[in-house]
């Protein structure tokens, strides 16, 4: 199974500042035939199901504010939230969907306001 490891486990960022969350996969999730990284990011607020933010490592889901961006390739990925807003307080998860299941999730990163 591919293991997804996020860092940090938690972080506190001031309003208006940038938050950076990292995700590392135990093997590459880049599919050479289409040059796509099979990596998604989700946001989960308390009491709510996860919400898809980004897929293909960098494609924003429809309706997601452009302050959210994803980058990286192969085994190392980053979710960046520019100009942090109060409503961005949540737990963020990465997930791979490469090759065969299980399509594992990272352990989550809790984002708070400093």
- Would you tell me which residues interact with other proteins (CB under 8 A)? 1, 38, 40, 42, 44, 48-52, 55-56, 59, 61, 93, 95, 97, 100-108
DSSP per position, 77-111: EEEEE-S--GGG-EEEEEEE--SSSP--B---EEE
Query: Min. distance of Cβ 92 from other proteins in angstroms?
Result: 11
* Residue 8 preceded by cis peptide, ω within 30: yes
Query: Min. distance of Cβ 73 from other proteins in angstroms?
Result: 17
Query: Min. distance of Cβ 106 from other proteins in angstroms?
Result: 7
């Amino acid at each position: 199974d591919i293991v997804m490891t996020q860092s940090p486990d938690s972080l506190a960022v001031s309003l208006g500042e940038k938050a950076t969350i990292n995700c590392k996969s135990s093997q590459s999730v880049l599919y050479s035939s289409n040059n796509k990284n099979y990596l998604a990011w989700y946001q989960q607020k308390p009491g709510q199901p996860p919400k898809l933010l980004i897929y293909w490592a960098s494609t924003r889901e429809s309706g997601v504010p452009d302050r959210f961006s994803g980058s990286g390739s192969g085994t190392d990925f980053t979710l960046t939230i520019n100009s942090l807003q109060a409503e961005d307080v949540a737990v963020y998860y990465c997930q791979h969907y490469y090759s065969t299941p299980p399509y594992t999730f990272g352990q989550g990163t809790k984002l708070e306001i400093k």
